[in-house]
A and B are shown apart, each in its own frame.
Chain A
């Protein structure tokens, strides 16, 4: 049972049947899934949602599947974590983290979009799926294609972090590393999708795929007690997520599921080495000037973002803003989140935390604002990015530890040898 009524071009309004198709055949603009919101409103209630299992499928009426999902069944409904210690460090009294670094099955928000896309590929009876990826999507597509028994062809930039490549190949996917940046990989995938019978999740399955991101917005609202927050800070690569979170909040309002009205300001975060959407927002434009990425935030390194135009639009329309940060600020952001909240995020999360710090300093975020940060990926995937010094190495000897401990901060560094032994005897 589905509430989907068709596909519609976001620019010229041309209507299409449900089929694997990335863009409008008339004007090449992106397509959007249309829903019968009136019927959804009759079928869906807070009680009905709350009674369902902890996955993104608790919002199944709002997802574009014709039948019950068979893969990705545990994706989504990640924790919304109150972040008092990070909030204190940043000067925010009402801070929450949407922690997709523990999403299932592959520890990033891409598990959501992939869950929708792979089920859709099965509905379309495709035999193979694929994607262009900066890593997280590669992991997610490879894993869920394995679950579905579909062949997977994954194209990545050659310089991707090794851990992300391994975490893709392990699922039996055919991984192809391309000598070029993400935008070049993406172009190649568009050409391959035109030639081969493969369901590329972010090319010809893209209208369905993108819909999965709205569940981040639904979950934030539900987990806040059916409230839209004052502000959400979102990392931006292709720019889709920031638009879909906002769309999700607005849909909940439309369906009468919220306690408050949506006055949520959407803030976009990018690395300075790849900031085309930030650059557009800051010159009060939606027109994206593509860039050549150069940043440690490889998961965000898309120089010609497909949804940049719409992301810049949503940010401006919602009264938000966009900022960028340096690679050193990104590393500091990763360390700050880890050391205050015990959450190890990848580079994209470091971008989000570092940009939030900047937005507070600029007084765009006020201390009392109910603020949510989208933490979209797991730090174990980008270990090489954080550049921490190796630990000191000692012999298994107490005196060596005591000598070393003098340089420690915290209780081990305060206690002298005699006080420590007195404490041990007492």
Chain B
């Protein structure tokens, strides 16, 4: 299933300067893998070497932080909105 991922400005230069990207994926983790295939090096910006999401990156599925769901294993329903957002804000 194809999903459109909106990329925040700081991430765009690691994904061909596009402001969004369409990828085929079943899970959040697969999205990162697909973008990595298109733009090698992208994964390292999002994930720690152990594969976990970086501390200062949040990924939201329909507005819900995937850390509250199944993290990178979270399945993506049809028509869902996926957003990658830097976490350093607020307080």
Q: Could you list which residues of chain A lie within 8 angstroms of chain B, going by C-beta atoms?
A: 11, 22-23, 25-30, 132, 180, 182-184, 186-187, 189-191, 193-194, 200, 202-203, 206, 237-240, 287, 289-290, 292, 302, 304-307, 309
Contacts and interface: CB of A to CB of B under 8 A. Distances in A.
B39 interface: no
B83 interface: yes
Contacts of A183: 65, 90
Given A290-B67, A290-B68, A186 B10 contact: no
A11 B54 CA distance: 12
A304 B8 CA distance: 19
A187 B55 contact: no
10 contacts: A23-B56, A28-B54, A29-B88, A182-B90, A187-B83, A237-B91, A240-B91, A304-B87, A306-B88, A309-B55
A182 B90 CA distance: 9
B88 A30 contact: yes
Contact of B56 (A30, A180, A289): A30
B58 interface: yes
Contact of B90 (A26, A27, A202, A292): A202
Given A290-B68, A309-B55, A25 B90 contact: no
A22 B88 CA distance: 7
Given A22-B86, A202-B90, A238-B90, A27 B54 contact: yes
Nearest to B46: A28
Contacts of B87: 28, 304, 306
Contact of A302 (B8, B65, B91): B91
A28 B86 contact: yes
A187 B54 CA distance: 17
A1 B86 CA distance: 33
Nearest to A286: B55
B9 interface: yes
Contacts of B85: 187, 190-191
Interface of B: 8-10, 13, 45, 54-58, 60, 63, 65, 67-68, 83, 85-91
B81 to A, nearest CB: 11
B15 to A, nearest CB: 13
B10 A28 contact: yes
Nearest to B87: A306
Interface of A is mostly: loop
Contacts of B83: 187, 191
B44 to A, nearest CB: 10
A302 B90 contact: yes
A23 B88 contact: yes
A60 B24 CA distance: 54
Contacts of A25: 10, 13
Contacts of B90: 132, 182-183, 186, 189, 202-203, 238, 302, 305-306
Contacts of B54: 27-28
A187 B60 contact: yes
B91 A307 contact: yes
Given A23-B86, A189-B89, A309-B55, 8 more contacts: A23-B88, A132-B89, A187-B63, A187-B85, A190-B89, A206-B88, A289-B67, A306-B91
Contacts of B65: 183, 290, 304
Interface centre among B63, B68, B88 (most CB of A within 10 A): B88
B56 A27 contact: yes
Contacts of A132: 89-90
B89 A304 contact: no
A138 to B, nearest CB: 13
A186 B8 CA distance: 15
A28 B87 CA distance: 8
Nearest to B65: A290
B7 to A, nearest CB: 10
Nearest to A113: B91
B91 A202 contact: yes
Contacts of A289: 67
A22 B13 CA distance: 17
Nearest to B68: A290
Contacts of A11: 56
A202 B57 contact: no
Contacts of A23: 10, 56, 86, 88
Nearest to A25: B10
Contact of B91 (A193, A287, A305): A305
A309 B58 CA distance: 15
